[in-house]
Amino acid sequence: MKKIISTSEAPAAIGPYSQGVRVGSIIFYSGQIPLDPKTGQVVSGGIDVQTRRVMENIGGLLKAEGLNYDNVAKTTIFLASMGDFQTVNEIYGSYFKQAPPARSTVQAGALPKNVGIEIEVIAVADGNADRSVADTSG
């Protein structure tokens, strides 16, 4: 059974998708672009401003389920230009002080509303994320 997550702490969906979907303890969040949640408009500024806005939007989504950045298990970063990687990486890293999530970063041909960045997140809501996996092969 899935639970749809919706919050005013992050931009409203601009298409036929949910801000997030929870299935058990796993939460799949839709990609966030640098939209101001209050106005629904793209923030003005360079990739640094855009990255911070995206990360704050993700924070709002996490907060809606009582989570924080420590609950993030996997992210995917989509960049319009890999030339922005270093700046994005520095800002992104400031949100994950210890035990950062698994991550993929790809250059996309184009992103919605011609923004420079989009990030999608998978989070875990309970403490099971840090349990070791036992070898049961025999």
pLDDT value for 86: 98
- Cα–Cα distances (Å) from 85 to 4, 41, 57, in that order, read 32, 24, 19
pLDDT value for 97: 86
Domains of the chain: 2-128 (3.30.1330.40)
pLDDT value for 107: 97
pLDDT value for 30: 97
pLDDT value for 127: 55
Work out the angle at residue 93's Cα, subtended by the Cα atoms of residues 124 and 33, and round it to the nearest 5 degrees.
Answer: 70
Query: Whose CA is closest to 69, among 57, 59, 60, 78?
Result: 59
Residues of the chain with pLDDT under 50: 128-138
Q: How far is residue 23's CA from residue 20's CA, in Å, rounded to a whole number? A: 10
| DSSP 3-state of 69 | helix
pLDDT value for 14: 84
Which residues, in sequence order, are CB contacts of 33 under 8 Å at separation 6+? 11, 42, 54, 111, 112, 113, 115, 117, 118
